[in-house]
A and B are shown apart, each in its own frame.
Chain A
């Protein structure tokens, strides 16, 4: 056979071969890489001057892996110490600019790797392995979870014997030695030009330490790392019980789940009030001794209960530990971005407002059965009195007594709590709740449906259980009836569904669903929202039997 002409099929073999060789070349890179996956200690190195256009993607490395490898040398191998505290910057106390930092990272990282490599120890990427650090792909994902103090962790710090007590200067005398608050909480004193601890002025770190470094304060992230870890490290050297010192300790899901949780936590001691009387015209009343009838009645706010129900003070006190009315005045202030108190308390979309937070409670499975079916305006316009309940007359003695508002709030809250203990069975006699109800007004393919009406009512009451928020807003047991018997005044003899829902489900007959849609809509959606699996929504015969005259699969569609 003659030889193939050059440039014929023979050439095509070269390309796959070349690709295969390339493939072989890449294998060592995979072998030395960190391995794919997600890590809680994956750190992206960002140089201080990010305005310089960068030719390579930022380098990433696994911090805990380095901590482990350099365990015998300690943090000082990479982090300089200043005033007996490690600065968590690499080999420098202060930022030095783009070029200097770049050189420093390259020299020190690669230098150390090279040394280890020369000693035949396991080593990281060397000078020729640019892409191992400056990888372009997202093969490595950070699985670091955000972390912050919850009430339990805060309390564990409060009582930790490892943390030294803070001497309190109260009336010139040292007392209350059991406070440890001053170890972390501080505020800046401009006259002394340093941070000092002031008892009773503790607030969340986040007020001053924001997301980014600013002139007056480090970022929250910097503070959390530098202060927490340095303290933990120093306790470790003293052989005392201490907290995590590596990334995973706080940021990995596994370690977070292992953090000890204390259930019974006493209230935070900051001299906060048990209750407050929220009113915009209180100051006026105090001044004149004459409550104006022009404003809403005051709200007796149970501060103590809300403390127990929320995880952080900043859940409500979003910008400062001051009382709401300080910034949210009648007209709003510059500080509140002119958000008035009324808006601040009633804004649905805000979790720092009363209404916004309370509304999310209605998405709870126990509540959603009824509430998911109610229109957006779940708080009826006529419901103001549920919160605005302090009668103006009770405020008359206010001017003479600075403690009076608190007393009035306390009285109002006590009365309210007492009223909540009313149970359903006490308020509606069982005989007034029909046991079974049969819907047979519109039989077609199926027979009528009989359902255990009383059982459902009792189940709704049971689901509310000890929930005081729910109990407060369903103070009249008949309110529960309104979950289904809606839009009519609460009554033991509500009008039949067919009074309002017609048989014609055309759009032209208005926004109300037709009778069939209303029945099915209410029953099925309630079951879905409350997580009631049985009967399944598509199991028709579980509620109504197929008519004997109806052949299976022949639906009664009008001919």
Chain B
């Protein structure tokens, strides 16, 4: 903006107007994006009694970590102790007996998401390299097919998935989640990685091959280090998708042994006896990891999301 100030043809007024316009627009956008999440966080710090005040307390009068304490002190499987609230009342401050399932569910989500990330790279990297750098017949068809599998709505796969998973005896196991999540995340990983490899010069590939490198050496020693941002992006997408997935987990999981975080949070949500103050605390725990990842790795994510779009 200082550069603009230096040009003599521009009077000061439009610059001030532009600055104010940008500030107002930025604040509006920021409010739109963050207000719902801020309200979630604020509610999670209120007691069951404060949360039902009319009008709402936008900022809690007496912020309390009571809900979070209940979640972290609950014994998994046994449920939290249903002691009355510290203020001596029990008005809507009820902590559900299943509160203890939350931390194990978080662990399940973490395990599933981490393995899915790993498998995405193991399966996706070689395939993307082949599509980007080997001129084989059917190369386009391969890419079309991979992309087309993501067009099929998950809900359309749910019926056959359920029957197969049931027949294999994999209902209520993390394996069923890992395998299906791999299938729904890997097409996009291949697309992002193939676009990235495609942008690396073919000569790199050729020169290394002439020097006697095998294909796997070329891939591991030359392409992977150069594609690190894309690898980070692909890993993040797979992680977030697995951490957030709901529909398939709803079908395949039945007990705390395999239930992931979204399932437990959804179960609280549909339970009318659970106070929204506790519910929001559970929501905050589910939001924190993905939100932090998104903010920290914003650049990687954006470049990954738009992979290939630049060339278009």
A, B: real partners: no
